[in-house]
Amino acid sequence: MATGATHSYFGHDEFAQYAPGMKTVEDARHLRDRILLAFEMAELATDPQERAEWLTFVVIGAGPTGVELVGQVAELAHTVLPQDYRSVNTTEARILLLEGAGAVLGPFDPKLQRYTQRRLEQMGVEIRLHTLAVDMDDESVTAEGPDGEEVIRARTRIWAAGVQASPLAAQLAGQVGVETDRAGRIPVNPDCTLAGHPEVFAIGDMVSLNNLPGVAQPAMQEGRYVGKVIKTRLAGDQQIEPFRYFDKGSMATIGHRSAVADAFGFRFTGFVGYVIWAFIHVAYLIGWGNRLGTLYTWARALWFSHNRGHRIITFEQAHEQALDHPRPPSGGGPATPDRPRAESSHLDTATHTDRSQPVGPGRRKPGR
């Protein structure tokens, strides 16, 4: 049985690369580290143009993934981080959402689309509809919209406009003699088997089946279905019903206590949508300990502290970036590329011997 991983593009200066999509906790941490690093490098930058580039974030694609990502970046810049830095004002961050279609959250109801766009704009997000990303390099994105092409200088670019199936799908397609679709997905039979190979199952976002989206719910239901098919075959029964997908609805978070949900014919926005989104996600956690712990963490962060406690940079390249951008010395000896001053950046402590040190407290404004 095969299930595929997807790939997305995001970059930071020389770190620009193709990297695995958010399939694991480490993938999510990797993306978070890169976003936090942009604010760190803006703090270290002395050139206004370079600082502006570090404070520009471009998310390409206004589906649920793009909306959730851009909302999180906007909250970081405008709510969570402003008091964590001395020389940079994170509220000046420019956050853009590019979408080739005419609305955000394309598959959703128009009411939810309008609410999402209005809420994101209130959070300071620039939304560019009918705009395609046609080129990209380490420091910019070229966007083509109704007014022509524009080069947007940005060190952080996150691709959320669709995914490419795992190369395994193309390899399997070549073996069984079928063609993959535009996204590189392999067609499968109604029982999730490959053509001519009933012993091989493929599920998830590497397969093309009934025009289902490459999201978690189809993959989870396909997995349960395949398990039942295998059990039925082992029992000697070859009469197997084809896979049928049960659509439980769609939802997306926008920001603090704000989400949209479309389920069972009902549409919800704002805080009610957020509660529904939270309930669904908590319900799928394993064990009551995890569920209660998650609810406690959310309640503490969203209602009591109004803050986020998980601002940690954990990868080695962050330290290399700090070495390449040392701050001018502020007394106590010169800083050099080989030995920057310890107080010039908490990237030193966050990426050296103790990687659990939070990014932020060491650079609090006086009196904080």
Q: Which residues are catalytic?
A: 68
Instruction: Please name every residue paired with 141 in a beta bridge, in sequence order, or none if there are none.
Output: 136, 152
Instruction: Please name every residue paired with 60 in a beta bridge, in sequence order, or none if there are none.
Output: 98, 159
| Residue 174 C-beta-side C-alpha neighbours within 13 Å | 6
Question: How many residues comprise the chain?
Answer: 368
| Two tokens, residue 31 | 């993306």
User: In angstroms, what is the C-alpha Rg of the chain?
Assistant: 23
Instruction: Please name every residue paired with 308 in a beta bridge, in sequence order, or none if there are none.
Output: none
CA dist., res. 116 & res. 119, Å (int): 5
What are the angstrom distances between the C-alpha of 108 and each of 157, 256, 268, 309? Answer: 25, 20, 11, 32
Do residues 120 and 127 make contact, with C-beta atoms less than 8 angstroms apart?
Answer: yes
Q: Which of 56, 287, 12 has its CA nearest to residue 152?
A: 56
| DSSP-H helix ranges across 155-248 | 167-176, 216-234
CA dist., res. 224 & res. 282, Å (int): 20
Q: Which DSSP symbol is given to 139?
A: T
**Which residues, in sequence order, are CB contacts of 324 under 8 Å at separation 6+?**
337
